[in-house]
Chains A and B, each alone.
Chain A
Amino acid sequence: MQHLNLPSYLEQSDDVRDRFARMKQRPVVLEVKNLSKEFESRGGSVTALHDINFKTRQREFICVIGPSGCGKSTLIRILAGLETPTAGEMLLDGRPVSGPGPDRGMVFQGYTLFPWRTVRQNVMFGLEVAGRSRAHAEEEARHWIDLVGLSKFEKAYPHQLSGGMKQRVAIARALANQPRILLMDEPFGALDAQTRARMQAYLMEIWQNIDITVLFITHDLDEAIYLADRIVVLKAHPGEISEVIEVPVPQPRQPDQFLSPEFLATKLRLEQLIHPPVADEEANDDALNMMRMVPKGSAVESVF
């Protein structure tokens, strides 16, 4: 990639710059302040996150990306209220929140649909818990199921659905509560490449059409650039923000932008951040200790 003559990822077209300027006028939905998390384990304490600060604005799409084990899941679990931070706080619409609640919807990587409930009953769950009438909940659920294109499967049980369909139900189930922010932890990580691409397109469409702010975790660089307005890049040990990137690829996104100069420039920058050039010693440690195990005169002596 280095051979191409790419612009800097910091260069933005006028449209894109204008859009980011307008976005900064929008109200802040979620603010994370000095967030840290340490896990106590037998071998001592592990700092999973250290002093994380960022803001998301209304209807912004933020991706969080970083190497494995840098604390992405820990961060999103804290935001969802499933984990308590060791220090720092988070503000939702300016008010501090703690503990899980319907104002922050979550879609997990593993399929967490309730197996004993049909698609419709799954989507109704949050509404029932909130004490809505049955008729109202059903009406509302039907609307969200329609939105994710699963009307035909309303009465199906989760075990009858494919992975992609399950995640669509999970999205509908989270959205039915009309949360302020939708938290997604590698939701498409277990899907095959084609289904994943289709799901990304669905998600973009949903995001464009309803008032929702999305915080999306992934380790797939293309996915992050394709979906995000801004990308929060984390580094590991301890988990800290190394950079927040404004994606210079114009909206609305199309699959043909994957090869545009802005896209590639951003990808190059992400590669540098996430896979920094390895120091010599470390590289030596990692090298395989290989010796030739193909006999001389074997039918295929070399793979070249």
Chain B
Amino acid sequence: MTAATRKSESGYVAPVALQSRVAWFAVRKELGPRPRLALSVLSFALPLLLWCAVSYIPWLWHPMMEITDPGDVEYFRAGQLVERETFEREAQAVVEGAGKLPTGNPANPIYLPAPHQVAAAMYTAFTDPPQRRSEKWLHESLGSSIQVIFWGFVLSSLIGVPLGILCGTYDFFSRLWEPFVEFFRYLPAPAFGALAVAILGIHQAPKIAIVFIGTFFQQVLVVSNTTRKLDPALLEAAQTLGAQRLSLLFRVVIPGIVTDLYRDMRILLGWAWTYLIVAELIGTSSGITWFITQQARYKNFDNVFAAILIIGVIGITTDMVLAWLGRRIFPWQRGTASA
């Protein structure tokens, strides 16, 4: 890429036929930076386009009618959503009775708001105070959720990562702990909800405990497997250089797996979000889950969508920041050569 541009700067034009065609479907070949970017944009643009199409093209789906003028139908109200069939039946009845026809526009069910409504909700969620006094701001709900995830994940990692490394390094610990961890992993974390509340009260603590239980047991196994995948030749090389016991662990095993460990943690953090949703339903429900159920109860589905999207945005942003940080912290990773 750089070589080609450098050449053209100096007046020499590289043969075009060689590079102009992009092989979109070459097996296990990386695409160039531009096609890559284009596809990444498309991957978001396509679902959005589909959503727009269903929302804004009146003859696509739209199984409901939003009534603008009830006419002579008694129970119709302006702004009400009725099923298209009902609307047509009532209209027919009115025609037969020579009354005033109701009018309305095709609409989608209440649970599928249009993109612009969700966008507006996302904005107003941060600007307009909640409609009811008992409700929390969206950012307050999010803040409480993030706290639960953070503490659940950090506590789990503080214990789970060292344990996993020990299991992956020493057969002793692997035999001693892994069978039990393997067993416990199959117990669904939410099943401990009632127990957690009984022991830890009804506030944040039992929720943190659920995220912890959900993450911890997977984490030990994932980390121990990653540790076992370290090339044994590196350990042998280190031994012939004089490394023994703890220096093998601290100078070879840990630095040798740290990049894979980092990647594991990014994946596990994603899983922790899944446990958050169940965790928040126990005790006094709170956080983003409470926000979502509450808004759904009042049929503010634009707010529901806004909240869900914000979770997604937080998730992907965290992951991208972590990926970027990873490339800074671990300069020896392949493909990030500073040269």
* Chain A 90-107 interface mask (CB, 8 Å, partner B; 1/0): 000000000011101110
Inter-subunit contact B258/A102 (CB<8 Å):
no
Question: Contact: B237 with A112, CB < 8 Å?
Answer: yes
Report chain B residues within 8 Å CB of A158.
332
Q: Which residues of A contact B332 (CB under 8 A)?
A: 115-118, 157-159
- Residue from the list A81, A128, A159 in contact with B239, Cβ < 8 A: A81
The closest CB in chain B to the CB of A99 belongs to B239
Closest 8 interchain pairs by CB? A102-B242, A112-B237, A100-B239, A126-B241, A106-B240, A157-B332, A129-B242, A116-B255
Q: How many A-B residue pairs have CB under 8 A?
A: 77
CB contacts (< 8 Å) of A129 on chain B: these are 238, 241-243, 247, 251
B158 within 8 A of partner (CB):
no
- Contact between A108 and B237, CB atoms less than 8 A apart: yes
In the assembled complex, 22 residue pairs joining A and B whose CB atoms fall closer than 8 Å, in A order, are A80-B236, A82-B236, A100-B240, A101-B240, A102-B241, A104-B240, A105-B240, A108-B236, A112-B233, A112-B236, A114-B238, A114-B252, A114-B255, A116-B255, A117-B255, A117-B332, A118-B332, A126-B241, A129-B242, A157-B331, A157-B332, A177-B242
Give residues 212-240 of B contacting A (CB, 8 Å): 231, 233-234, 236-240
Set of chain B residues within 8 Å of A82, measured between Cβ atoms: 236, 239-240
Find out whether the CB atom of A110 lies under 8 angstroms from the CB atom of B233.
Answer: yes
Chain A residues within an 8 Å CB radius of B334: 159
Interface of B is mostly: helix
User: Is the pair B234, A112 in contact by a Cβ cutoff of 8 Å?
Assistant: yes
Distance between Cα atoms of A81 and B234 in the complex (Å): 15
Interface size in chain A (residues, C-beta < 8 A): 31
Say yes or no for A125: interface residue by CB 8 A criterion. Answer: yes
Extra contacts, 14 of them, besides A116-B332, A118-B332 (Cβ < 8 A), are A80-B240, A106-B236, A106-B237, A112-B233, A112-B236, A112-B237, A114-B234, A115-B332, A129-B238, A129-B242, A156-B339, A159-B334, A160-B339, A173-B241
With A157-B331, A174-B241 known as contacts, the answer to whether A125 contacts B251 (CB < 8 A) is yes
A108 and B233 in contact (CB under 8 A), knowing A157-B337, A159-B332?
A: yes
Contact with B along A205-240 (1 / 0, CB 8 A): 000000000000000000000000000000000000
B115 interfacial contact with A, CB 8 Å:
no
Minimum Cβ distance to chain B for residue A118 (Å): 8
A130 at interface by CB-CB < 8 Å: yes
Q: Does B330 contact A (CB under 8 A)?
A: yes
Q: Distance (Å) between the CB of B121 and the closest chain A CB?
A: 47
| Docked CA distance A117–B251 (Å) | 10
Interface of A is mostly: loop
Residues of A at under 8 Å CB distance from B?
A: 80-82, 100-102, 104-106, 108, 110, 112, 114-118, 125-126, 128-130, 156-160, 173-174, 177, 183
Q: Which has the most chain B C-beta neighbours within 10 Å: A101, A105, A116, A159?
A: A116
Contacts of B247 in A (CB 8 A): 129
Please tell me if the beta carbons of A81 and B240 are within 8 angstroms of each other in the complex: yes
In angstroms, Cα B339 to Cα A118, docked, is 13
Q: In the assembled complex, how far is the CB of residue A168 from the closest CB belonging to chain B, in whole angstroms?
A: 15
Q: Per-residue 0/1 for B237-267: is the Cβ within 8 Å of any A Cβ (1 yes, 0 no)? A: 1111111000100011001101100000000
Q: Tally chain B residues at the interface, Cβ within 8 Å.
A: 24
- Cα A158 to Cα B241 in complex, Å, equals 18
- B331 (CB) vs chain A CBs: closest residue: A157
Task: Decide yes or no: A116 and B237 within 8 Å by CB, A129-B243, A129-B247 being known contacts.
Answer: no
**Considering the chains assembled together, what is the distance between the CA atoms of A101 and B332 in angstroms?**
28
Check if A116 sits within 8 Å of B240, measured CB to CB.
Answer: no
CB-nearest residue of chain A relative to B238?
A125
Q: Is the CB of A116 within 8 A of B251?
A: no
Q: Shortest CB–CB separation between residue A171 and chain B, in angstroms?
A: 12
In Å, the complex CA distance between A110 and B334 comes to: 18
Contacts of A118 in B (CB 8 A): 332
Report the separation of the CA atoms of residues A160 and B332 in the bound assembly, to the nearest whole angstrom.
9
Chain B residue nearest in CB terms to A112: B237
Chain B residues closer than 8 Å to A177, beta-carbon distance: 241-242
Chain A hits for B236, CB < 8 A: 80, 82, 100, 106, 108, 112
B30-57 vs A, Cβ < 8 Å mask (1 yes, 0 no)? 0000000000000000000000000000
- In the assembled complex, the Cα of A104 lies from the Cα of B339 at a distance in Å of 35
CB distance from A217 to the nearest CB of B (A): 15
Nearest B residue to A80 via CB reads B240
Residues of B within 8 A of A125 (CB): 238, 241, 243, 251
Tell me which residues across on chain B come within 8 A of A112, comparing CB atoms.
231, 233-234, 236-237
